[in-house]
Amino acid sequence: MPKIEGERILSCVIRRDEAGARLIDFLGTRFPYHDAAGWARLAGDGALLVNGAIASVDIVLKENDLVRFRADGAPEPAADKAVSVLYEDRDIIVVDKSGNLPAHPAGRYFRNTLWGVLKEKFDVAEPSIINRLDRETSGVTLVAKNPAASDMCRKQFASRGVTKKYTAIVEGALAGPVRSRGYIVPRVDSAIRKKRRFEPANGSSPEPGREAEWADTEFTPGERHGGISVVEAVPHTGRLHQIRATLLSLGCPVVGDKMYGLDEGVFIRFIDNRLTPEDAARMRIGRQALHASSLAFLHPADGRGMAITAPLPADMRALLLKR
């Protein structure tokens, strides 16, 4: 695939959980720049490559396959590309990302992503982002610089051999420490397609055939500041939206959370660019007040223990100073 000056060429390595999908289904889900017909046209033009070979859209992807394509499209939305390095060596780089920065290219985001910042600012040739934080979640992010380091790091996460801690600022306050065990399930009664719900297990299993994922999180309440409070969250599983959905079920939604906050209509109005001054006042802050504060893991090359922390960002500190 010849490179044209100014053209955006996207490369990505297929993860284990993505293996088995057809190329067209993977691209349509991960990179919705085009519909199925658009991806088919690009394949016909020879613009889709898998492991360096021109690929049809029906090829079934395997773990570690390298997918490349031209990522043209609409101008990107703005993002806060403030990223600071917490630790770096030849195998890994650990960074503190802002609370308005997607991890990977997707949708209309390409360069305005952590992936783009790592390549352009920190000269990481093929960054493999291990713990992908939501766009509005700030904090510690582990990135592998080579396939061997990536494989070792992902195995640790898959076996739950890492310790992740998050700091959340929530509406209200927890009465005391709580360990929430149960299932993350689709929120079928919501107008938001990707919204999920936490259901406590209470000794029971989900209904047969129902889409459900086991989730386990410890929460420890911290100081109160008027109508809000600080909570430390330690997830023992890694489910999509796990902390946010569980805190909502506990009656303490994350401050500023458009999807799992006090009113899910805020998310819909945000997507439609129709947020009102009243919405802004209820949210208190411009993004969800959730921060990945620390990550403990074993170094992928030599096995030594690593414990990396990131300070609470300025917008969350300012929120706690308000009365």
> In which domain, by residue range, is 115 found?
83-159+291-321
Q: Is residue 77 part of a domain?
A: no
What's the CATH number where 52 sits?
3.10.290.10
Q: Is residue 246 part of a domain?
A: yes
Alpha carbon distance 307, 267 (integer Å): 35
- Asked whether residue 31 falls in the same domain as residue 56, the answer is yes
- Asked whether residue 175 falls in the same domain as residue 280, the answer is yes
User: What pLDDT score does 36 carry?
Assistant: 82
- Asked whether residue 231 falls in the same domain as residue 180, the answer is yes
Per-residue DSSP letter, 255: T
- Asked whether residue 155 falls in the same domain as residue 296, the answer is yes
> What does each of the 323 residues of the chain score in pLDDT, given as a tens digit?
444 334 567 778 898 888 999 999 998 887 766 778 878 887 887 888 999 888 988 999 999 999 988 665 546 788 999 999 999 999 999 999 999 999 987 767 778 999 999 999 999 998 999 998 999 999 999 999 999 999 999 999 999 899 999 999 999 999 999 999 999 999 888 888 889 999 999 766 665 556 789 999 999 999 999 999 999 999 999 999 999 999 999 999 999 999 999 888 888 888 778 889 998 899 999 999 999 999 999 999 999 999 999 999 999 999 999 85
Number of domains in the chain: 3
- Asked whether residue 97 falls in the same domain as residue 144, the answer is yes
- Asked whether residue 283 falls in the same domain as residue 186, the answer is yes
User: What pLDDT score does 6 carry?
Assistant: 41
What's the CATH number where 228 sits?
3.30.2350.10
Q: Is residue 175 part of a domain?
A: yes
Residue 316 tokens read as 């969350």
- Asked whether residue 198 falls in the same domain as residue 269, the answer is yes
- Closest among 122, 116, 84, 81 to 99, alpha carbons compared: 81
User: What pLDDT score does 71 carry?
Assistant: 62
Query: Tens digit of pLDDT for each residue in 102-126?
Result: 998 776 777 899 999 999 999 999 8
User: What pLDDT score does 8 carry?
Assistant: 63
Question: 48, 70, 92 — which closes off a domain?
Answer: 70
Is 252:222 a contact under the CB 8 Å cutoff? no
Q: Is residue 108 part of a domain?
A: yes
Q: Is residue 3 part of a domain?
A: no
Ordered alpha helix ranges (H), 62-221: 114-120, 147-158
Q: Is residue 99 part of a domain?
A: yes
User: What pLDDT score does 206 carry?
Assistant: 61
Q: Hey, which residues does 235 pair with through a beta bridge?
A: 217
Q: What pairing do the DSSP bridges indicate for beta strands 196-200 and 83-88? A: unpaired
- Asked whether residue 195 falls in the same domain as residue 278, the answer is yes
Q: Is residue 78 part of a domain?
A: no
- Asked whether residue 221 falls in the same domain as residue 261, the answer is yes
Q: Is residue 2 part of a domain?
A: no
- Asked whether residue 117 falls in the same domain as residue 229, the answer is no
Question: 22, 45, 70 — which closes off a domain?
Answer: 70
Alpha carbon distance 164, 96 (integer Å): 14
**Residue type at position 290:** L
User: What pLDDT score does 169 carry?
Assistant: 98
